[in-house]
Chain A
Amino acid sequence: MKKLALATLLAVGLTGCSGSEEPQVLNLYNWSEYMPQEVLDRFTEETGIPVVYTTYDSNEAMYARLKLLDESAAYDLAVPSTYYVSKMRQEDLLMPIDRSKIEGFDNLDPELVNLDIDPDNQYSVPYLWGTTGLAVDTADVDGEVTAWADLWDERFEGRVMLTNDMREVFHVALRVLGYSGNSTNPDEIEAAYEKLTELMPSVRTFNSDAPRMPYLEGETDIGMIWNGEAVMGRDGLPTLEYVYPAEGIIAWLDSFVIPKNAKNPDAAHQFISFVLQPEISALISEDIGYATPNLAARDLLDESVANDRASYPNATDMINAEFQTDIGDEALQVYAKYWEMLKSGQ
């Protein structure tokens, strides 16, 4: 009886709030501050479709929500990073992209399409890409730093920063040991863990919110950083240098995907085409600070941006570079176990 009363109450409240079928909108589910407002405004102006921009702060949270919501998910477009595309594709969370409705796909860098994460780009269209490399504050560090292995140097005790990202941190240790950053071999992962425990006394902090900040705060002198952050960090700390380590950087790619239950897939396709216009892609890259995969856009970029080696690496910088791949669930558990041991200092 009580429950019935409550249910009625709820039902009344609900019908009062859920509106009738709305006209076409675009529900964009994206990282915060990862799309200039100007682009959204211009899209609405051109197509008449309003954009509702909702944000998330990690791939994990985005994935968990899309997966849980399933049928009731109301997102038309999301922007997962690298291997989350393959993960979501394999778990049937995505709608295939209708290439006939996309204009400008040919503008994309051939190096960044048809990757293992999504062969033939059936489910994803690259948006922005970047790398995770070494940051060195040359004001406080003497001598050349060229490799991830240099982090283990004793003179950096208490001055090292790592990203707060399990996969990336293990990636570095695995590369130093000569393994693949996507290793699924438990022995190799354990060896990487052992290697990282040697590094722990040097590690001052983990940061994946804004990895440039510990350098600017003066807390750390050397460590990991994302290239876009390094570019931004130079504004406040001109001596902050972005180094491509000999063992290879970690590369990642954020792509547009359309969730399986999108209500406005047409608007989503329209938006992707809109972003693929060279002029718009260039605008995004200059505003956000990461590299656009749109080759046609690169010619439109400001000289200083286009020639910045941190944002747009040359071919030698990319030697040994590795994209992260989906390592599967079993390996993930092994990583998670060692990560927890590492962080809690055992």
Chain B
Amino acid sequence: MSENDLRVGVFVCECGSNIAGSLDCEAVAEYAKTLPNVACSIVNKYTCAEPGQQEIKKYIKEHNLNRVVVASCSPLMHEPTFRNCVEEAGLNPYLLEMANIREHCSWAHLNDWDGATAKAKDIVKVSVARVRLLEEQIESKVPMTKEVLVIGGGVAGIQSALDLADAGYKVNLVEKEASIGGLMATLDKTYPTMDCSI
């Protein structure tokens, strides 16, 4: 794809007042329009909510977008959400980039409106630069071995092993000691039922 064919959509999330309370989301979205290859840039109240995601999908179709930047929270929080969203709109999920303007910006600079706004613009600028160079990635598929290892035969290991085994999966329960039971087996009675532990 040549550089001219790149069409980036930027979606700035207000996250209620979590972001919009500390920085100027409109200004960030306006600024994003000046960045290279940005075809559209809008503000959503909650980008992760259903209407927000519908908007992304709508814009991808209407503006023929092939790259998406979501400026909202941490990718550790919502990258899977937005990857699914762009995939449903026909884009490869790896053509999405998240600009973290909440955890790393609005929440860290609650009382510096101008500083936080300037920083958010910069974060979006860096994300747009990156998304332009991202490529499609294909996740390979591997067969799933339908057997499980449970390490530890205390109350948690026993419950896990029984649930899995009852569901029909083969379970290998490995216990370090000579018997299962763990610390629970050394207790006389347990609360709140006040009955015996074993």
A and B interact physically? no
